[in-house]
Homo-oligomer: A and B are copies of this chain.
């Protein structure tokens, strides 16, 4: 099991200094190392890998349960294929990396390093899909993608090598089935984020900001402690735009050739970024027990009978990820170490505990210490783990609720957005009006809900049909 280096110093930054705290926690808890000499590119250390694996394994299970199959598509797209869909090209061309040569010769055709895999996959879809019997096709992959932006980068949240991009791509017989698939994707991501205790709102992206090559898309958006919004996931209805240019046709049930309807949706390590940012505290990580690489750490306070007792206790805890920290450092240092790494429960065992047949449990989320009789350890640990899950989710939800505000004038909206959080404004639903607002207000227009009807009029004076949501974003 991972110990990583000895974390003898303290974290040294408070969460209220969020920007500094966030980067320091990621490094200190050994999730990533930011010292690789390329801007926006990070090394994932074993502890971070374990975290991402637990997180991604859950996602893969959700994918497979709903009939998605994992595949792998090449990293490189010949420029001729990458360029097929005009809007997509416009959206992704500028910041995509280009391979032009090897160490000794020029390539005959330039290669694009995938910034996302639509063109790469759909070239193959056109070969795979022949008849309605081949549909729906539901494929996903988890791969690194590359977007060489010049903006400020930030580990996990805004990176140039996105290491864990889970992208799902589907093809269907009818428009209606594609719409249904969008709902399934939303359901899957909702379950996923709830499992992680990450609060979110689901917004439909305004038309002027829709994914390059799409009909419409939804974003899952959360807010980090500094009040900036973070897009967690995107769910996109592609219609038939790609089907047309890649000629993805099938023989339908009436023996007629038709184009498929497509969707795609993705998440990345940003999700872990949100987990760290939202649940963490002044001591470091606070992890939902299901993704904690270490769920229970046992710290011996050296004394008579301690080792035997620990042996006995840990035999109760099968099925949990348990570490006994027997290193030759003071218990206090061990506490810091495992608190920084977000371990949900610490068990302390010393002579006192041996004599009186109990253990002392410390909860990572509340800091509370609890004495538990030996006979009840297993039951209590499982109970506390599920209580921690509930507690951190609740806390996150409450924090999030305070970040959502409503404004009824431009002036008010401006102030609110600058203060942080998500600000919604009654909106008539017209593009001109929305784009006009976006121009005048700080931050970005995130989108709107399908089913919200304000009583107040739009700022333009017309009747409003929904709210338009704004925030400063990562």
Contact partners of A42 in chain B: CB under 8 A: 74
Residue in A41, A49, A72 whose Cβ sees the most chain B Cβ within 10 Å: A72
Q: Which of A90-98, A252-260, A280-288 contacts B (4 or more CB under 8 A)?
A: A90-98
- Whole-angstrom distance from the CB of A239 to the nearest CB of chain B? 24
Is A73 interfacial (CB 8 A cutoff)? yes
The answer on a CB contact under 8 Å between A70 and B49 is yes
What are 17 A-to-B residue pairs whose CB atoms are below 8 Å?
A5-B134, A6-B133, A33-B124, A33-B128, A35-B124, A43-B74, A43-B124, A44-B71, A72-B163, A74-B161, A93-B103, A94-B103, A94-B104, A96-B102, A96-B103, A97-B99, A98-B100
- Whole-angstrom distance from the CB of A36 to the nearest CB of chain B? 6
What is the bound-complex CA distance between A37 and B53, given in angstroms?
32
CB < 8 Å neighbour of A71 from B46, B73, B76: B46
CB < 8 Å neighbour of A38 from B36, B78, B92: B78
- Whole-angstrom distance from the CB of A369 to the nearest CB of chain B? 31
Contact partners of A81 in chain B: CB under 8 A: 37
Contacting residues of chain A (1-58) with chain B, CB-CB under 8 angstroms: 2, 5-6, 33, 35-38, 41-46, 49-50, 53
The answer on a CB contact under 8 Å between B94 and A98 is no
Q: Which residues of A contact B (CB under 8 A)?
A: 2, 5-6, 33, 35-38, 41-46, 49-50, 53, 69-76, 78, 81, 92-104, 111-113, 120, 123-124, 127-128, 133-134, 139, 144, 146, 148, 161, 163
The answer on a CB contact under 8 Å between B127 and A41 is no
Known contacts A43-B71, A43-B72, A49-B71, then 17 further A-B pairs from the complex at CB < 8 Å, ordered by chain A residue = A5-B134, A6-B133, A33-B127, A36-B74, A36-B123, A36-B124, A38-B76, A38-B111, A43-B73, A45-B71, A46-B139, A94-B103, A95-B102, A96-B103, A97-B111, A98-B100, A98-B102
Contact partners of A36 in chain B: CB under 8 A: 73-74, 120, 123-124
- Whole-angstrom distance from the CB of A401 to the nearest CB of chain B? 36
| Shortest Cβ-Cβ A-B pairs, 7 listed | A46-B69, A44-B72, A93-B103, A94-B104, A94-B103, A102-B148, A41-B74
CB < 8 Å neighbour of A127 from B35, B44, B70, B163: B35
